[in-house]
Structure formats: C-alpha cells, structure tokens
C-alpha cells in the first residue's frame, strides 16, 4: 500500500533540497507532535472535564478556558527541549518564556496563539493554533524583547494547525505553503496540499457585521461594494478556520480598525503576522488597510493590529477604500 508523503519525509527532502540545517525539520516535527496532542484533547472536549471557563482571566482580561492553558503548556513542554529555541511568547503569557537553564538553547524564538477561536469549542466549531518563528537578534544567554519585536517580514517559518473535520498542519518557510492532513488511524501527518496558492479574487467576504455601527466609512464602503459584486458572507469567529477556508477557496477576511478600537482586535505577532506570511507565500496579500502587514515593526508582544487578508485583488480593492 502506498502511504503517501509523510511530514517527516517531506521535511527531510526539503532540508536536502535547500541545503538548510535540520533546525526546521526538528522544530516542525515537534510542532506537529504538539498539534496531535491538542487535537486529541479538542476532540474529546465534550467527554471530559476540560470544557468551560477556567475561572481566571488571561493577561488581556479575557476569560481563559481550560484548553487555552492546556494548549499553551503542550507547546512549551514539547518545544522547549528541541535545542533550537532561546525563548517563547504566547497569547496566554504576559512576558517572555525563557528556555530553562538545564536545556540546550538555540537561535530561534517562537511565538504562538496556542488555541485560537477557543470560544467555539463548546459548540463544535473548528479551532486552531497559530505559530511564528524568528531568528533571534540578541546574543546573550537569554532571549530579549528585541528578539520578538521584529517585523513579520523577518519570519523564517510560520503556520497553523486547524482542528476541524480533519486536523491539518499548514506551514511556510518562505518556499511556498504546504498543508498536511493527520491520518488519525496511524497518527501521522500526510502531505495533502502541496504548494497552496490562493485565487487572486474570491467570492467570500468575512467580517463581523455586528460592528457595522462602529465601522469607519471606508470599511462600510468596501462591504457595500462586496455585496454589489454578489460576494457571499462567511464568518465563524475562529480566525484560523475563517482564514483557512478563504485561503483554499479565495476570499477576503477583515478585522479592521473601527471607531471604538483604532487598533482592531487581533494580535500582530501571533495572529496577523504569521497568517500574513502564509498568505503572501500563497500569492495572496495582507494589509493593515494602509500598509503591508509584514512591514509593521511591533512595539510590544501583545500589540493589536487591523487586519485585511486574503485574495490579492480583493485586498487591494479594500485598501483603495481605506486610502
């Protein structure tokens, strides 16, 4: 029986072709392991006492669900011993996580939204994990803020896991975007989407229309145009799932600045920038409405940013409304 291309085989082949060190092969293999563990827990969330709020707030004052914490710990435990990282940052942690003294250190930093869309778990809608990797800037024994506060353009690897009707890992190291689907019967990720490209124009627009009373005029004008063009609306409230659907089918996702939130809602470093790297590698575009998303130099780890992302021509059209 032909098994297909496993993630491990694909990574080894990529490593050989690009002449790269084995750093990403090691890191991505462990990201896949973390994804399998989280996928297992997400899938049985209704069966055991993992559902519901944990009764505490995270650093942004939001309710933390048990699975957010769990996913955060899984990534920390799985990745801190790879020998490739010097530090980690996460939506669920206020400051930098330093790789422990007794572990081997490496030259990369890792940022994550360990569980994205977590309010959807209770109702069986797809959720995900988003990750981003930069080469460190500092040279000391520990990671510093400067290592994390780099423009998205400097990312060396980014991607996401989606825990949906199937579990997928989608990533880029700057050589195209590749998607792998978990075969649960053998617990192995198999190459299912090689060299993903997104259509240059799509039928779908995704935005939370409940906020139309506080949208800026620009966004209202763009959505009016989208409706006139007979686009169709799709919005789950789960960024990874909304993004993934639009990446494959073509479309635009907007979480713009509005009159109450001039910086939007989504986080630059571990939500917007990694997806922007993926979309550009898939021939799409990502913008703040005024500038390419990947050019933004972050000021702090948990910074928010307006995000317009998806099919290249659709994003350009939305940007024109903003200018």
In this structure, what token pair is assigned to residue 261? 């939130």
Query: What is the Cα gyration radius of the chain?
Result: 19
Q: How far is the CB of 238 from ligand AHG (least distance, A)?
A: 5
User: Rounded to whole angstroms, how far apart are CA atoms 255 and 144?
Assistant: 30
E strand or H helix at 183 = strand 177-183
Q: How far is the CB of 171 from ligand AHG (least distance, A)?
A: 19
Closest CB to ligand AHG among residues 1, 123: 123
User: Rounded to whole angstroms, how far apart are CA atoms 238 and 266?
Assistant: 11
Q: How far is the CB of 108 from ligand AHG (least distance, A)?
A: 22
Question: What residue ranges bind ligand AHG (CB under 6 A)?
Answer: 91, 113, 116-119, 208, 237-239, 265
Closest CB to ligand AHG among residues 230, 260: 260
Q: How far is the CB of 113 from ligand AHG (least distance, A)?
A: 5
In this structure, what token pair is assigned to residue 77? 């435990």
Query: Could you count the other beta carbons within 10 Å of the beta carbon of residue 118?
Result: 23
- With CB cut-offs between 5 and 8 Å by kind, which of Mn ion, ligand AHG, none does residue 208 bind? ligand AHG
Closest CB to ligand AHG among residues 91, 319: 91
Which is it for strands 188-193 and 177-183: parallel, antiparallel or unpaired?
antiparallel
User: Rounded to whole angstroms, how far apart are CA atoms 171 and 155?
Assistant: 12
Question: What residue ranges bind Mn ion (CB under 5 A)?
Answer: 91, 113, 115-116
Q: How far is the CB of 256 from ligand AHG (least distance, A)?
A: 11
Closest CB to ligand AHG among residues 62, 183: 62
- With CB cut-offs between 5 and 8 Å by kind, which of Mn ion, ligand AHG, none does residue 238 bind? ligand AHG
Give me the torsion for CA of 64, 274, 245, 305, rounded to 10°: 70
Closest CB to Mn ion among residues 116, 147: 116
């Amino acid at each position: 029986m032909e098994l297909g291309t496993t993630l491990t085989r694909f990574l080894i082949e990529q490593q050989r072709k690009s002449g790269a060190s084995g750093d990403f092969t090691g890191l991505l293999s462990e990201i896949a392991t973390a994804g399998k563990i989280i996928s297992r827990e997400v899938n049985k969330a209704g069966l055991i006492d993992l559902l519901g709020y944990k009764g505490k707030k995270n650093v942004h004052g939001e309710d933390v669900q048990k699975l957010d914490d769990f996913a955060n710990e899984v990534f920390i435990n799985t990745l801190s011993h790879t020998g490739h990282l010097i530090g980690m940052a996460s939506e669920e942690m206020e400051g930098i996580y330093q790789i422990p003294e007794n572990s081997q250190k490496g030259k990369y930093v890792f940022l994550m939204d360990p569980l994205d869309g977590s309010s959807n778990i209770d109702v069986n809608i797809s959720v995900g994990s988003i990750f981003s990797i930069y080469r460190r800037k500092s040279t000391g024994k520990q990671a510093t803020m400067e290592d994390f506060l780099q423009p998205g353009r400097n990312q060396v690897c980014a991607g996401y896991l989606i825990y949906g009707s199937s579990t997928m890992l989608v990533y880029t190291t700057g050589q195209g975007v590749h998607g792998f689907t978990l075969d649960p019967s053998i617990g192995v990720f198999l190459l299912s989407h090689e060299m993903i490209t997104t259509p240059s124009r799509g039928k779908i627009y995704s935005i939370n229309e409940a906020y139309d009373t506080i949208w800026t005029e620009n966004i209202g004008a763009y959505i009016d145009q989208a409706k006139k063009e007979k686009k169709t609306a799709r919005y789950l409230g789960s960024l990874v799932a909304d993004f993934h659907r639009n990446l494959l089918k073509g479309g635009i996702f907007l979480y713009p600045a509005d009159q109450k939130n001039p910086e939007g809602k989504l986080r630059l470093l571990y939500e917007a920038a990694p997806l922007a790297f993926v979309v550009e590698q898939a021939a799409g575009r990502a913008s703040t409405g005024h500038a390419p998303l990947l050019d933004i130099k972050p000021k702090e780890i948990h910074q928010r940013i307006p995000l317009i992302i998806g099919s290249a021509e659709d994003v350009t059209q939305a940007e024109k409304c903003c200018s």
